Structure 1
């Protein structure tokens, strides 16, 4: 029970700090691109939108809250994985953070890259199902490829990791976007960069906190 409390503390510290880092990165790198894309979207939509945070401190506060909560959840997963595997520390945390980036961002983004407002997408349920399938397959695939010495499991891991991409992500029959393609491409690059720093800091801070708490 004492170790569980320490895991929660380590995850909370790593999640809050990494969530704050991601919020700052998004504020300077991706939010301006979103606001620019919304300018293309506004003339094309005549209906009123539901309530949403205003640009400025309100939007940043909600972003920071969401990123902090998400960071805590992901940090708890990483901390539990490191604890179960019997490894901690800064450098081990970086490796686990890199794995988290592959599982939760890089692999799903190969089929469903980050999108700006005004971009046509497939049905939400089908995209969510493919994202979950991809994340789960990538977890199982990385385990077979990197953490198993059994050749059969390694082959199965590679097949599992590739399966979602062989099946293909759901997309609309005719893909259209209101924002220019250059803006969309820059958004994808900045999102990938921001999330990479988020996951690396999340893993490193979780591993470092676990060492300090003697886990």
Structure 2
């Protein structure tokens, strides 16, 4: 139980710092693109009653809260993995951060890239199901391919990495976006960079802080 409390404390600090970093990056890089894309939207009756945080402290506050909680959850996964493998130090942490980036961002984004407001998407539940399936398959695939030495598990891992993309992500029959294609492309690139910094920071901080804690 003492080890668990230490792990939670390290993950909480790591997640809050990682969430703060991501929030700052989003504020200066991707938020301007989102605000620009929102200018292409026209209000419709079905969205009049939808609540949204106001620009300024509300939007920034909710972004920071969400990123901090997300960072805590992901940092807890990284910390648990390093504890399970009896690893510590920022180099091992960077490796686990890279793995998290591949599992939770890169692989799902190959089928469902980040979207700006005003972009038509497939039904929400189907996208969520494919995202979860892709993350799970990628995690198991990397485990079989990288963390085992058995040829059969390595082959199975490679198959799992490819499986979600062979199945294909759900998309609307007719794709349509209000924002210009150049703006959308810029958003995808910056979101990918921001998430890379976020995940590598989570990994490095987890590894560094875990090396300072005695389990």
TM-score with structure 1 setting the length: 0.97
Stretches (4+) displaced over 2 A: 43-47
Task: Give the drift of 1:51.
Answer: 1.6
Distance across 2 between alignment mates of 1:139 and 1:185:
27
Q: Could you report, residue by residue, the CA deviation over 1:123-149 in whole angstroms, capped at 9, with x for unpaired residues?
A: 000000000000000000000110000
1:137 correspondence with 2:130: no
Residue pairs, 1:119-198, within 5 angstroms: 119-198=119-198
Q: Could you report, residue by residue, the CA deviation over 1:65-119 in whole angstroms, capped at 9, with x for unpaired residues?
A: 0000000000000000000011111110000000000000000000000000000
Distance 1:65 1:17, change over 3 A: same
Distance 1:44 1:54, change over 3 A: closer
Q: Could you report, residue by residue, the CA deviation over 1:133-188 in whole angstroms, capped at 9, with x for unpaired residues?
A: 00000000000110000000000000001000011000000000000000000000
Residue pairs, 1:23-34, within 5 angstroms: 23-34=23-34
Alignment correspondent of 1:69: 69
Alignment correspondent of 1:117: 117
Task: Give the drift of 1:45.
Answer: 3.0
Alignment correspondent of 1:45: 44
CA-atom RMSD, angstroms?
0.9
Distance across 2 between alignment mates of 1:49 and 1:185:
30
Alignment correspondent of 1:57: 57
Distance across 2 between alignment mates of 1:214 and 1:110:
40
Alignment correspondent of 1:108: 108
Unpaired runs of at least 5, structure 2: none
Alignment correspondent of 2:78: 78
TM-score with structure 2 setting the length: 0.97
Aligned residues: 214
Residue pairs, 1:193-204, within 5 angstroms: 193-204=193-204
Q: Could you report, residue by residue, the CA deviation over 1:9-60 in whole angstroms, capped at 9, with x for unpaired residues?
A: 110010000000000000011000000000001x263551412111112111
